[in-house]
Structure 1
């Protein structure tokens, strides 16, 4: 993601921001089958559209329904690594007599699944129809079976397979073949992927799109385009945004951010430029209004909040920044991707904002090589949140977040601290997937009070690197960010920190250069660096660059404060659990 993100700024713009083309999102493959009931979520698991997954959840259970274009057996499972083993799987089919067969299994190797002693996935329906085979089944989120996958808010790899024929038995499953299997990252509890969106009767939709942009044959490109917020005679709320990706370019459009650009004028509308190389001098656009990343789908604001336009202080001009990731440096990619915004004049109760917390994006973020689980910790301080909330009577109601790091990221936790007590995390993804980043709605609103603080923990696996990885814009560099959606909007949009490594010297950038040259295979060097990280001061930044009259609080902090009482997850409700 790029730099700063602050408000949920987003509504479309004038030139080249027009009414949506109804053909933009026409599926190129099989039409979505009709489920047996209304599910809150749906996902096409394979490119061809032969395998569709529907699901819904409540506080304790999850129900799946698979529609697969086959009259043979169907496999479905959950995995931590996306591989066929070890994993938690079910196998099912409907025989020629119309009888459904279904078993809860697990896998341990390149051989047939093993039937679980405890059958904790339960078949609700099995049938064949014109599309193929339909299996509907349910299970607890936590079955207390060591052979079953514990379903949490973290990303999970859904694995799938199918075969054109029914097996003779569960012990004689024929191999599904290399073309009839796959894996897909999903957040089963945290992201809603509605079957169909019906906008309010007074809604208007606008598109912000590139216009046949020729993506350069280089690994990383940040391309920007200026838009003007559509002028209306009265206030309106953005209530939804969604990606519009040029067919075939899904692998190249890594993320899109939309920034408030208060220094822009009508003369800038329609300008295109490389964001961090050729930005026009007059354009200073830092506060984020919209954040979308690869794998994400549409984001709907809660029913009591929306992002405001057409009142004093609201954005008038926007810059859309698109990160194109082209690791093979392919030429000939032409892109017209962007975003679709839905707005309403039916004003909701609260104006929403975005708080960007985590590491300031620059080379002061330092990840050493050869580390299996390196922790990069960044603070959004108590003082900054006090500046945002002004008085003890005020608070933020956080309702969603987008967690973001790059290729080395394995997990991200947005920790919430009140006084010297650590509360339940605002959000966490312990199985982070760089290729699947979606906004996650909280199960319930979280109140951030005056005097609270936040800590963003990013864990990295750098065992595949032989040199340090620094913070930066390219996917080969790293980031550690949490975009926190909340209401009511405050004047603070950025709450970030960066280590100074001041045990080495007074210039932090020179300190990074010094550390970069160290021998990172030497255990003494690793121990020295850990000691530096434990003692370093942090530079903290708390501001809103596009609201010049807003508070600005900066401070050197000895280190990220650790709460006296750490958060302990509630015990699992399993026999013998503590």
Structure 2
């Protein structure tokens, strides 16, 4: 299986002690590398690599006479990076360190040295190192496990179009091809995940989980008997997103995970083209899981179109095209307002009226703006204001208080028990399912209520490091466990509730890999 790797450029200059491993330097034997990338605009840093069965062979060619390095990072930053550092001394010997970073400081030498140096040299202009790194070193404390399923390639010098840095050229664009030779199949796009609506709530000051469903009944009536083939996927959240996983369930058993990004970064979104197509059959169901980091936020974040709002979406490109275009869910309204302590409300609201599935709210806002001021083009829609219509009837101490008022009250988000209930209900409580086709038309029987499914969840085991078991096992997941009981005592211990709510996903497969490349610029070391 081929490998594509995501890159992130980070500066490195070290004061180092003697090398942990060394080898006499000299000319390197020719090697036909399968992949090559230039990692900076000046063309000073070249990376070549070839994936093997047990390891990956890397060669770095850098226009410097000094220390060079390559770091494997979960997020493109220094903290948590697994770093290979090397140099050629005055005698021509090549040295390498296997190190790990705890922050913006000199990385620590790892007790377990898991890099095999293959050679290197230094001339008047360049330093060249060649080394091998196992996919899995079994050093779970400090090493980053590489995977063969990453398909994303990104340079991380972070270009911000608003910064107007003169030395950076934006060469991005779009290339279109026109042909008279039509392909056999037309492709369609299927949207899975949480519906874009205020039912998607992310509290301030917290790390949070969101779940969106697609039920088998929807897929059953939407697809032909032979199913469809997925050849590309894009996982999508906004600025708070940290990880996204798409889980596929067939006949009560979870299938191996195909789309998963545990190091999601809004700035590095890229569709992933599959080498082996993913089959969706009638009756398959899906769970889209998203993680968020809102610890820096002071106010809640809701689902919405703006990047300051959030999404939890998987876009799958498939063939042959059908009318099937979306299968989304969101927490039902009672699950939300009961989490805030409201027992009964005056009337009920249709959350679908404020979702992306129903564009009437946005359209009405556009018409209103146009009538008031024809010159005004920017439109903001606060979908969360729908909660003003959710007014408490009981209990007595909340009577006539709207859910909107509770949500905007900073004291609300200091209640740990409330937060635990909200996480439990939004992640594992009942949802409202939307299943539809082009033109935002829904299939018969939708929207409808849906509860978290019972299934055998896949749990990937580390067969390379634990020889006593296979690489794959299944564990039962039911609505009665993992914190998913609907009648659970809301006054249960907060720690227990949080622990249960965080459980449930043993799946681990395709994760995106970020390589933090150490270039040797002093200024980049400064915090």
**Which bracket does the TM-score occupy, shorter chain normalised?**
0.5 to 0.7
The Cα of 1:378 is off from its aligned counterpart by: 0.6
Aligned residue number for residue 436 of structure 2: 542
Counterpart among 82, 87, 103 of residue 88 in structure 1: 82
Structure-to-structure mapping, 1:481-496, within 5 angstroms: 481-496=313-328
Aligned residue number for residue 222 of structure 2: 388
Aligned residue number for residue 68 of structure 1: 62
Aligned residue number for residue 280 of structure 1: none
> Structure 2: how far apart are the matches of 1:553 and 1:122?
60
> Structure 2: how far apart are the matches of 1:130 and 1:396?
57
CA 1:50/1:573 → structure 2, altered by over 3 Å: closer, same or farther?
same
CA 1:152/1:483 → structure 2, altered by over 3 Å: closer, same or farther?
farther
Residue 452 in structure 1 maps to residue 284 in structure 2: yes
Aligned residue number for residue 413 of structure 1: 245
> Structure 2: how far apart are the matches of 1:350 and 1:544?
18
Partner SS, residue 567 of structure 1: strand
Counterpart among 134, 137, 153 of residue 140 in structure 1: 134
Partner SS, residue 526 of structure 1: helix
The Cα of 1:537 is off from its aligned counterpart by: 3.3
Residue 522 in structure 1 maps to residue 415 in structure 2: yes
Aligned residue number for residue 470 of structure 1: 302
The Cα of 1:525 is off from its aligned counterpart by: 2.5
* Residues paired across the two proteins, number: 375
User: Structure 1 stretch 470-479 or stretch 102-111: which is displaced more?
Assistant: 102-111
The Cα of 1:496 is off from its aligned counterpart by: 1.9
CA 1:531/1:432 → structure 2, altered by over 3 Å: closer, same or farther?
closer
> Structure 2: how far apart are the matches of 1:348 and 1:193?
28
CA 1:68/1:426 → structure 2, altered by over 3 Å: closer, same or farther?
same
The Cα of 1:571 is off from its aligned counterpart by: 2.9
Residue 251 in structure 1 maps to residue 160 in structure 2: yes
The Cα of 1:250 is off from its aligned counterpart by: 4.3
Could you say which structure has the higher strand fraction? 1
Equivalent residues of 1:400, 1:486 under 8 A apart: yes
> Structure 2: how far apart are the matches of 1:459 and 1:413?
9
The Cα of 1:136 is off from its aligned counterpart by: 2.2
The Cα of 1:132 is off from its aligned counterpart by: 1.6
Structure 2, unpaired ranges of 5+: 1-28, 338-344, 352-385, 391-402, 470-527
Partner SS, residue 419 of structure 2: helix
The Cα of 1:557 is off from its aligned counterpart by: 2.0
Aligned residue number for residue 570 of structure 1: 461
Structure-to-structure mapping, 1:163-312, within 5 angstroms: 189-191=149-151, 193=153, 250-252=159-161
CA 1:148/1:250 → structure 2, altered by over 3 Å: closer, same or farther?
same
Partner SS, residue 460 of structure 2: coil
Aligned residue number for residue 354 of structure 1: 189
Equivalent residues of 1:543, 1:552 under 8 A apart: no
The Cα of 1:143 is off from its aligned counterpart by: 1.2
Equivalent residues of 2:100, 2:143 under 8 A apart: no
> Structure 2: how far apart are the matches of 1:130 and 1:545?
64
Output one character per residue of 1:415-442: Cα deviation in whole Å (capped at 9) or x when no partner.
1011221222231111111221112233
Output one character per residue of 1:107-134: Cα deviation in whole Å (capped at 9) or x when no partner.
4567654444443222234134676222
TM-score (normalizing by structure 2) = 0.62
RMSD: 3.5
> Structure 2: how far apart are the matches of 1:88 and 1:575?
22
CA 1:382/1:410 → structure 2, altered by over 3 Å: closer, same or farther?
same
CA 1:149/1:347 → structure 2, altered by over 3 Å: closer, same or farther?
farther
> Structure 2: how far apart are the matches of 1:515 and 1:101?
61
CA 1:446/1:249 → structure 2, altered by over 3 Å: closer, same or farther?
closer
Equivalent residues of 2:327, 2:433 under 8 A apart: no
Partner SS, residue 464 of structure 2: coil
Residue 340 in structure 1 maps to residue 175 in structure 2: yes
The Cα of 1:538 is off from its aligned counterpart by: 1.2
> Structure 1: how far apart are the matches of 2:323 and 2:313?
19
The Cα of 1:338 is off from its aligned counterpart by: 4.1
> Structure 1: how far apart are the matches of 2:423 and 2:105?
44
User: Structure 1 stretch 496-505 or stretch 66-75: which is displaced more?
Assistant: 496-505
> Structure 2: how far apart are the matches of 1:558 and 1:514?
28
Counterpart among 114, 122, 126 of residue 120 in structure 2: 126
Residue 379 in structure 1 maps to residue 199 in structure 2: no
Equivalent residues of 2:65, 2:124 under 8 A apart: no
TM-score (normalizing by structure 1) = 0.57
Equivalent residues of 1:409, 1:460 under 8 A apart: yes
Aligned residue number for residue 329 of structure 2: 497
CA 1:37/1:472 → structure 2, altered by over 3 Å: closer, same or farther?
farther
CA 1:552/1:125 → structure 2, altered by over 3 Å: closer, same or farther?
farther
Partner SS, residue 375 of structure 1: strand
The Cα of 1:345 is off from its aligned counterpart by: 5.0
Aligned residue number for residue 234 of structure 2: 402
CA 1:101/1:410 → structure 2, altered by over 3 Å: closer, same or farther?
same
The Cα of 1:568 is off from its aligned counterpart by: 0.8
Structure number with greater CO (CA < 8 Å, separation at least 6) is 2
CA 1:249/1:420 → structure 2, altered by over 3 Å: closer, same or farther?
closer
The structure whose Rg is larger is 2
> Structure 1: how far apart are the matches of 2:294 and 2:95?
44
